[in-house]
Amino acid sequence: MPFRNHPFSYVGPAEIAAAARQSDPGFPIVTPVDLVNWRSSQTAEIDAEGNLTATFTIGLDERLRLASRRSEHVACAAGGPVWGAGEVTFDASGKVVAISNYSTGFCPEAKWSWPTCQQVLDQIGLPHPGKFTTEVTFRRCPACHERNVVKDDHYACDLCGCALPAMWNFG
Ligand SMILES: [Zn+2]
């Protein structure tokens, strides 16, 4: 078994989580055929190169779930918690050509999330790039509690300017 940290709980606004209870969870992907079936329901989202970008989550059941890229992660994950959440792009053959941990709802730490993402993609049989192609660093401001995306290694709160910690701090 790969090293794994704790799963990530929802850390976003309560009203988004409440609204998400009204919607269906993401479409579960167990085999490559499931991805083909889901893709056939998303034809309007496929770009000129045949790529399809989606919201994804991997819950405690270690099941990959997909939803429209405009969907909230907390809805896709039926509230969570998750091992992984972000955006994923598949090419026409079902290969993962881009994947990120970009979920402001769960703010997953990339290095703690990727091992399970990789394991689940391998189990389904979907080729992937072996890492998050985009790694997002999330930190909560210790002063005003805003969720921040750290940009260019600038560890300061967007809202109040307070210094952000080096270590992930949503636990
Ligand atoms: Zn702040």
Q: How far apart are CA 140 and CA 129, in angstroms?
A: 29
More confident residue, 5 or 161: 161
Whole-number Å distance, alpha carbon 143 to ligand 1 midpoint, is 5
Report how far apart, in Å, the C-alpha atoms of 17 and of each of 14, 41, 60, 132, 136 are: 5, 25, 18, 26, 22
Which pLDDT belongs to residue 168? Answer: 95
Tokens standing for 124?
Answer: 């389904």
What count of other Cβ atoms lies within 10 Å of the Cβ of residue 98?
A: 17
Which pLDDT belongs to residue 6? Answer: 81
12 band by pLDDT with thresholds 50, 70 and 90: very high
Give the percent of the chain with pLDDT over 90: 96
Mean of pLDDT over the chain: 95
* pLDDT, mean of residues 77-101: 97
The residues with which 53 forms a beta bridge, in sequence order, are 89
Position 4 pLDDT exceeds 60: no
Angle subtended by helix axes 32-40 and 110-124, to nearest 10: 100
Position 107 pLDDT exceeds 60: yes
Report how far apart, in Å, the C-alpha atoms of 161 and of each of 41, 139, 151, 155, 164 are: 44, 13, 13, 9, 9
2 band by pLDDT with thresholds 50, 70 and 90: very low
Whole-number Å distance, alpha carbon 160 to ligand 1 midpoint, is 4
CB 64, CB 125: distance < 8 Å: no
Whole-number Å distance, alpha carbon 101 to ligand 1 midpoint, is 22
Q: Which of 128, 54, 58 is nearest to 94 (CA)?
A: 128
CB 64, CB 36: distance < 8 Å: no
Whole-number Å distance, alpha carbon 39 to ligand 1 midpoint, is 40
Q: Which of 106, 100, 96, 74 is nearest to 87 (CA)?
A: 100
- The 10s digit of each residue's pLDDT in 31-81 is 999 999 999 999 999 999 999 999 999 999 999 999 999 999 999 999 999
* pLDDT, mean of residues 138-162: 97
